A and B are shown apart, each in its own frame.
Chain A
Amino acid sequence: MSASGGLLLSFSLPTLSRSKPWQQPDATAIEINAWLSIAPDDTVVIRVAKAEMGQGVLTSLPMIVAEELEADWRQVKVEYADANRQLQENGVYGPMRTVASDSIMAGREMLQRVGAEARERLIKAAAETWHVLASECYADYGRIYHQGSSRSFSFGEVAGLAAEVSVANVRIKQPDDFNFLGLPTPRLDVPAKVDGTAIYSMDVRLPDMVYATVLHCPVIGGKVRGMRLNAVRNMPGFIRALRFETAVAVVADTFWQARQAAAALPVFWDTRHAEEQYSDTIKKGFFAELGGAGQVISRQGDIVNLMDRADRTIESDYFAPYLAHAALEPLNATVHVQSKRVDIWVGHQDPEAAIAAVSEVTGIAAEHVYLHNCYIGGGFGRRSNTDFVREAARIAMQIGRPVQMIWTREEDMRAGAYRPMSAMRFKAGFDLSKRLVALTNHSVTHSILYDRDGATNGPDPNSIDGLHNHPYEFPAWEFSHTRKNTHVTSWWWRSVGSSINAWARECFIDEMAVAAEQDPLRYRRQLLSERPDYLKVLDLLEQHSGWGKQVLPPGSARGVAIHRSSGTIVGQVAEVAVRPDGTVGVNRITVVVDCGHLVNPQTARQQVEGATLFGLSAALYGKLTIESGQVLEDNFDTYEILGMAELPEINVHFVPAVADDRWGGLGEPATPVIAPAVCNALYEVTGRRIRSLPISDYYLQAV
């Protein structure tokens, strides 16, 4: 409260304890390994090395450990693993990046081994105490039992000895042996998220802390020419204004005072060249490249000859705009730079990268940089970028006190790191009996890796994912690619290349079905006849959606799409209506998911629903318009997000796992499928193909 500048009378803080995921455990707890501590009262603390941004890892990852440990789930507490310890102990936690929906896919076996190893050590410790064989002992619900006698220990009673012993050749369970994994389990972070005690990085309050707001040049690529400090020097709470190459930061006692000073601060920008930029002209540049050759990624057959001899060809161009992530919590970070130590409080998807970035900015060695990861108010990929953390560190270096830098909604959305822009052309040739003879695709896409790393060898895999590696059986094909970067910056956006490529590809498959005079779902079946995994999803989709059976009212229709990303196949059927006023209503979505094994079906369903709605918002409304170099959509009044009133009925069906099945991702794979399902349904209703997003750019009428 010291920094508030306010006089406070007769007020006490609520007694609720604040929920900080980085909180250190009970000091009496005994550490079994870097992942696990057990307290004398039997509390098991499991550390989570991934970031909680709504996908439920703070619950699902400890569930995996607890299953092997034979813990009593009611005794389990969770906290974040320390990214600095990760650095000091040679990556003890495995990669800490939370990306690509792979927390379970990539980390599951390691977490099983962590739990199994700890269980065996607890058993060995108990057996040694009893002077019996470890093979005569077993763990269950937080206790170690000796078979054939009534002796037992709680975990806490043998934790001290377990920390000293070691075991070898620990076996992990197979899915048939699970008691707990696969059961719907309430999320552990929910109570703190409904009583206001969950701490996001913007909620961090430190002694002597001040606030910073940032004004980036409103024209992308522009620079600071100067500012007139005298205009704000005497404003209430004002501390300093800092000039950087492309931005100005204003620091004050409170955030609102910083905002007031920033609003009054005359800043002069150098926007030469950059202000000639318009998204329409940028878009034209992408289309201009479509006719070019591109770099061939994959080819089979004499394409030129086959297309020449085709009885009929169809050709279509698709376009996807730049998109902002628009996580609800605007980007922010709190940084305290001291002479030999930096502390960062941030919600970050890639704490190791954030530490490296802050070390680079401040010149303080990474082992002296401590990152306190917070709950993340929406990540969607954006919070794996270190741009905002670097900026907070640059500001904090000059202030010498803890600084909480908050980007306003507008700064957050204008700051770049967008989903890439892309244009692509599909062409298909058919013979006299309407059979496909060849398919070509040329994509022109802004490369994320080029933005990040500069030149890359060959096409950016993010740009072409879902195109050349499609599941379909084509008789002949060519996939080619052209990288097209602009002065706008791009970054990973939930489901990455799939969100663009699966949309265009699945829409064009529908165009092919029409050309072949086939039902779109049956047509996919034919092209997927060698892929039983996809056929299984299509079977369930047909069964649950009423496809081809239940007739819909006039002005509405169904559309279908299917795609695999992050190890998971998702098929969707959307029931879509066009209202008399031309607006689009998505009434019902049937989703079939084949991810293999599920850790927590409750969060799995939530992720599928949420990912679908994330994709639907983008499909219906998502676009960024650049005029005179400035991004126009910088808040929710212009960058529309789907609301409660537009919520479709969403029915999610999981394909039951089979033996040796995979543990596919769930945070993203439903996102790319909804846009093509809706666009394909809209064609059925209106006769128009949506080949450029968003859908709201079209004036649609049912026919």
Chain B
Amino acid sequence: MLRLNINGQAIALDVDSETPLLWVLRDHLNLTGTKYACGIGQCGACTVLMNGHAVRSCTTTAAAAEGYDIVTIEGLGASGRHPVQQAWIDHDVPQCGYCQSGQVLAAVALLNDKSNPTDAEIDAAMTNICRCGTYRSIREAIRQVAIERGDS
């Protein structure tokens, strides 16, 4: 029996512990906001938070996720819109939108780690691929969150 803590809820489920976390989320828990795109940890569409850090769930086994607090895109805004999601809306970031759950969570992890990241820190942390090319809007949205936090 696998025990996971997802979006603040303790879950026990009977699933092969070697199943990637991505497919546990999508096919067993119907948390389809986490996306499959490459399956080899290259693109970041499957990004989730584990204890606040951005992790690629397609190359993380369910067993390896036990004991961590996992947050998916569905859990991020569960108690009202997260400031990063709001910034994404303010900057009209998504185009096709497929990578954006992962982009949002990667940005949340970056801003957890560094409240006012430099351009180089944004470049280093935001390695998620966007095929539509929304990078400028992503960068501006991250800066907005950093500025708002600095003001408060």
Contacts and interface: CB of A to CB of B under 8 A. Distances in A.
Interface of A: 1, 3-14, 16, 53-56, 186-187, 189-200, 202-203, 205, 211, 236, 254-256, 326-330, 375-380, 406, 408-409, 602-603, 606-607, 609-614, 635-637, 641-645, 647, 650
B100 A328 contact: no
B129 A641 contact: yes
Contacts of A191: 89
B132 interface: yes
Given A7-B14, A13-B30, A194 B129 contact: no
A211 B28 CA distance: 12
A189 B28 contact: no
A611 B132 CA distance: 7
Contact of A54 (B1, B95, B101, B123): B95
A6 B15 contact: yes
B85 interface: yes
Given A8-B29, A202-B32, A327-B96, 15 more contacts: A4-B27, A6-B13, A7-B13, A8-B11, A8-B13, A10-B11, A11-B29, A16-B74, A186-B89, A194-B93, A195-B73, A256-B20, A328-B37, A606-B95, A637-B42
A378 B13 contact: no
A643 B130 CA distance: 7
B94 A11 contact: no
Interface string B117-152: 000001110111111111111110000000000000
Contacts of A328: 35, 37, 43, 45, 96, 98-99, 129-131
B21 to A, nearest CB: 11
Contacts of A12: 9
A200 B96 CA distance: 10
B73 A54 contact: no
Given A377-B97, A644-B122, A645-B123, A4 B39 contact: no
Most buried by B among A6, A187, A375, A409: A6
Interface in B40-72: 40, 42-43, 45, 72
B92 A187 contact: yes
Contacts of A9: 11-13
A642 B43 CA distance: 11
Contact of A329 (B76, B98, B128, B138): B98
A11 B9 contact: yes
Contacts of B24: 6
B131 A190 contact: no
Contacts of B37: 328-330, 377, 409
15 contacts: A5-B14, A7-B13, A8-B29, A54-B132, A195-B85, A196-B34, A254-B27, A254-B28, A255-B27, A328-B43, A328-B99, A328-B130, A329-B37, A406-B36, A647-B139
Given A193-B97, A644-B123, A327 B88 contact: no
A211 to B, nearest CB: 7
A378 B94 contact: no
A197 B30 CA distance: 11
B127 A643 contact: yes
Nearest to A637: B42
Shortest beta-carbon contacts, A-B, top 9: A196-B33, A377-B98, A193-B97, A613-B133, A54-B95, A54-B96, A196-B73, A203-B32, A610-B133
A644 B138 contact: yes
B89 A194 contact: yes
B78 A14 contact: yes
Contacts of B115: none
Nearest to B126: A644
B64 to A, nearest CB: 15
Contacts of B99: 328
B104 interface: yes
Q: Name the residue in B96, B101, B128 with the highest tally of chain A Cβ atoms < 10 Å from its Cβ.
A: B96
A1 B40 contact: no
Given A10-B10, A636-B43, A610 B95 contact: yes
A379 B95 CA distance: 11
Contacts of A602: 92
Interface residues of B, number: 72
B19 interface: yes
A186 B93 CA distance: 10
A554 B85 CA distance: 41
Contact of B40 (A16, A375, A606, A637): A637
B13 A200 contact: no
Interface of B: 1, 6-7, 9-16, 19-20, 23-24, 26-40, 42-43, 45, 72-78, 81, 85, 88-89, 92-101, 104, 122-124, 126-139
Contact of A641 (B33, B131, B139): B131
Contacts of B35: 200, 202, 328-329, 377
A647 B135 contact: yes
B135 A190 contact: no
Contact of A10 (B9, B72, B126, B130): B9
B94 to A, nearest CB: 4
Nearest to B120: A645
Contact of A190 (B11, B12, B39, B93): B93
Contacts of A635: 38-40, 42
Contacts of B133: 609-614, 642
Contacts of B95: 54-56, 606-607, 610
A409 B38 contact: yes
Contacts of A611: 133
B45 to A, nearest CB: 6
Given A255-B23, A610-B134, A190 B94 contact: yes
Contact of B131 (A55, A256, A606, A614): A614
Contacts of B13: 6-9
B96 A6 contact: no
A480 B138 CA distance: 45
A14 B29 CA distance: 11
A200 B92 contact: no
B98 to A, nearest CB: 3
A612 B136 CA distance: 13
B111 to A, nearest CB: 15
Nearest to A205: B30
B95 to A, nearest CB: 3
B96 A53 contact: yes
A184 to B, nearest CB: 9
A378 B96 contact: yes
Nearest to B90: A186
Given A186-B89, A378-B96, A613-B133, A196 B39 contact: no
B33 A636 contact: no
A224 B40 CA distance: 27
B107 to A, nearest CB: 11
Given A55-B95, A194-B93, A650 B136 contact: yes
Contacts of A406: 36
Contacts of A378: 96, 98, 131-132
Contact of B72 (A196, A255, A603, A642): A196
Residue from B16, B31, B93 with most neighbouring chain A CB atoms (10 Å):
B16
Nearest to B100: A193
Contacts of B131: 326-328, 378, 380, 614, 641
Contacts of A379: 96
Pick from B40, B85, B100, B136 the residue with the most CB of A within 10 Å.
Answer: B136
A409 B7 contact: no
Contacts of B88: 190, 194
A353 B106 CA distance: 38
Contacts of B124: 645
Contact of A195 (B9, B34, B74): B74
